[in-house]
Chains A and B, each alone.
Chain A
């Protein structure tokens, strides 16, 4: 499905600000995997997502989807395979366009866009049905400007737009982090049901350890540009937040020891 092989990314190479964001990262996702990604700031989580979506070029290593390399594919071309929800609720929708126009744009993901009407009766009926599943009442506001919606509503809409064409991979970049707890919970629940409904292969970055344990069938932890822990569904089911913290402390301590020894 998604195969990441030895990806490395360095920002500002050759300057005093040089920073290794990803250091020889490899990861394989199977179809239907729902992987949660945790890690401290600067661990490389967002960079990993930017590599997969094509927003930033890869320094070295390879990245393939369904067996073919997409390493050299620009972001807009890769969008045919990759759906994405950003952390900023404003980032995933066009504020001056209506709800139905935004959905019409998302509906043509990865397809040629020609001179047929963007919003037709048939499409509108489909949009209404899809919006119904969000349970936010948006199905009655198809012509409302998206800029009028609240952050939570916009994020729910972004989630729908990223997923309802069933891309091969769904990337969620801390997509609940900027919402208040109640809205975050709503979007989390929606995420769960949408991923289950379409059996989407999903990679979700989160700061919330409890959420990372509760959702998905696999968990990876990143630290300083590397994947330092990979928990399968069996072990994840019984794991608690303290377990996770203990695991982190253990690995981090070990790596520090290594460095101390090498130093």
Chain B
């Protein structure tokens, strides 16, 4: 249960990245499946080669940002459909990630990672580490809240909300789109780097289906906690990531095996999208809001 909370908070960082593209930019970015692993691969390789863990983690995040930048350039300058641009980068990253890692799995067991101090102090799995991870996730959440309320952040919000309008006010929407994709994938890769250190290995397939985890976190979290303001919406995303891990935890406890989890994720997203449209749930305010938004989109 504690491990589920820890994982949920760590994955909250990835979910915040997905929130930036999926909700703010209105762009379903599939790059994350690849960039998550890239972050893990870069951080793990560097740590094994003796680079200090904090630096390796930052390098992992930066490599994800580059991946996001590539998707952004394909989408804007190359005018490739957003979904396809993400898929192209994601698939290409599979080979790149294998090149970075040299083999399909890199163990970090005897290396000095960001998690080593926590593990040595016996904090992992306890209340303190949950608190530390919560603070880390919240720091990033508040940084995003602040960023989105700056002049630049507002122009990013407007890019996803009404592109024609913000261009007519002098914003190069190609640049805001690329920047957002880079930040988003940077966060996803940062999460990948942290997860690799947390679980003690990087694996080339660790990012498969991750976009669904991100979407589930965003959609479930915002259905439960609401999304009226940026403050609430980004908090809900972290909450959603934790809920997701708890659902997985209980599903495993109920006897399902880890290979069933992709199916559970998909069902969770479908449920979060469909349930608010049905009778008794219509009365829940935040769900009702989601439903009306879905209706607007459908029109």
Asked if B104 is at the interface (CB within 8 A of a chain A CB), the reply is no
Asked if B151 is at the interface (CB within 8 A of a chain A CB), the reply is yes
Asked if A178 is at the interface (CB within 8 A of a chain B CB), the reply is no
**Contact between chains at A105 and B154 (CB < 8 Å):** yes
- Residue of A79, A91, A162 most packed against chain B (CB within 10 A): A79
A74 to B168, CA, bound (A): 10
Asked if B95 is at the interface (CB within 8 A of a chain A CB), the reply is no
**Contact between chains at B150 and A76 (CB < 8 Å):** no
Q: Which of B22-45 contact A (CB under 8 A)?
A: none
Which of the residues B152, B153, B155, B167 comes within 8 Å of A75, measured between beta carbons?
B167
A27 to B230, CA, bound (A): 47
Asked if B172 is at the interface (CB within 8 A of a chain A CB), the reply is yes
The closest CB in chain A to the CB of B162 belongs to: A94
Nearest-CB distance from B84 to chain A (Å)? Answer: 25
Q: Which of A83-141 contact B (CB under 8 A)?
A: 83-84, 86, 90-97, 101, 104-106, 108-111, 113-119
Asked if A77 is at the interface (CB within 8 A of a chain B CB), the reply is yes
Asked if A161 is at the interface (CB within 8 A of a chain B CB), the reply is yes
Q: Kindly list chain A residues whose C-beta atoms are within 8 Å of the C-beta of B152.
A: 113-115
Which of the residues A83, A96, A113 comes within 8 Å of B171, measured between beta carbons?
A113
**Contact between chains at A97 and B168 (CB < 8 Å):** no
**Contact between chains at B151 and A53 (CB < 8 Å):** no
Q: Kindly list chain A residues whose C-beta atoms are within 8 Å of the C-beta of B151.
A: 104, 108, 113-118
**Contact between chains at B170 and A92 (CB < 8 Å):** no
**Contact between chains at B170 and A119 (CB < 8 Å):** no
Nearest-CB distance from A139 to chain B (Å)? Answer: 20
Question: Contact mask A145-171 → B, CB, 8 Å, 1/0?
Answer: 000000000000000011000000000
**Contact between chains at A110 and B170 (CB < 8 Å):** yes
Asked if B149 is at the interface (CB within 8 A of a chain A CB), the reply is yes
Looking at chain B's contact residues, the main secondary structure is helix
Asked if B147 is at the interface (CB within 8 A of a chain A CB), the reply is yes
Asked if B248 is at the interface (CB within 8 A of a chain A CB), the reply is no
Asked if A80 is at the interface (CB within 8 A of a chain B CB), the reply is yes
Looking at chain A's contact residues, the main secondary structure is loop
Question: Contact mask B141-171 → A, CB, 8 Å, 1/0?
Answer: 0000001011111110110011011111111
Q: Kindly list chain B residues whose C-beta atoms are within 8 Å of the C-beta of A105.
A: 154-155, 158, 166, 169, 171
**Contact between chains at B165 and A94 (CB < 8 Å):** yes
**Contact between chains at A79 and B162 (CB < 8 Å):** no
The closest CB in chain B to the CB of A145 belongs to: B228
**Contact between chains at A114 and B172 (CB < 8 Å):** no
**Contact between chains at A75 and B150 (CB < 8 Å):** no
Number of A-B residue pairs at CB separation under 8 A: 89
Which of the residues A53, A97, A109, A116 comes within 8 Å of B150, measured between beta carbons?
A116
Known A-B contacts A96-B161, A117-B149; the reply to A79 vs B154 at CB < 8 A is: no
**Contact between chains at A94 and B167 (CB < 8 Å):** no
Q: Kindly list chain A residues whose C-beta atoms are within 8 Å of the C-beta of B172.
A: 74, 76-77
Q: Kindly list chain A residues whose C-beta atoms are within 8 Å of the C-beta of B116.
A: none
The closest CB in chain A to the CB of B172 belongs to: A76
Q: Kindly list chain B residues whose C-beta atoms are within 8 Å of the C-beta of A86.
A: 164, 168
**Contact between chains at A97 and B157 (CB < 8 Å):** yes
The closest CB in chain A to the CB of B171 belongs to: A76
A117 to B149, CA, bound (A): 6
Q: Kindly list chain B residues whose C-beta atoms are within 8 Å of the C-beta of A95.
A: 161-162
**Contact between chains at A111 and B170 (CB < 8 Å):** yes
**Contact between chains at B150 and A94 (CB < 8 Å):** no
Known A-B contacts A95-B161, A96-B161; the reply to A118 vs B171 at CB < 8 A is: no
**Contact between chains at A84 and B168 (CB < 8 Å):** yes
A193 to B151, CA, bound (A): 29
Known A-B contacts A94-B158, A95-B162; the reply to A79 vs B167 at CB < 8 A is: yes
A53 to B149, CA, bound (A): 28
Q: Kindly list chain A residues whose C-beta atoms are within 8 Å of the C-beta of B173.
A: 76
Known A-B contacts A94-B161, A95-B161; the reply to A161 vs B169 at CB < 8 A is: yes
Q: Kindly list chain B residues whose C-beta atoms are within 8 Å of the C-beta of A116.
A: 150-151
Nearest-CB distance from B128 to chain A (Å)? Answer: 33
Known A-B contacts A93-B162, A95-B162, A105-B158; the reply to A114 vs B169 at CB < 8 A is: no
Q: Which of B62-111 contact A (CB under 8 A)?
A: none
Q: Kindly list chain B residues whose C-beta atoms are within 8 Å of the C-beta of A115.
A: 147, 150-152
Q: Kindly list chain A residues whose C-beta atoms are within 8 Å of the C-beta of B161.
A: 94-97
Interface residue ranges, B against A (CB under 8 Å): 147, 149-155, 157-158, 161-162, 164-173
Closest 8 interchain pairs by CB? A79-B170, A113-B151, A94-B161, A118-B154, A110-B170, A94-B162, A94-B158, A113-B152
11 additional contacts, CB 8 Å, given A92-B165, A111-B170? A76-B168, A79-B168, A91-B164, A94-B157, A97-B158, A97-B161, A101-B157, A110-B170, A115-B150, A115-B151, A118-B154
Can you name 18 A-B residue pairings with CB atoms under 8 Å?
A75-B167, A76-B167, A79-B167, A86-B164, A92-B165, A94-B165, A95-B161, A96-B161, A97-B157, A97-B158, A105-B154, A110-B170, A113-B151, A113-B155, A115-B150, A118-B151, A119-B149, A162-B168
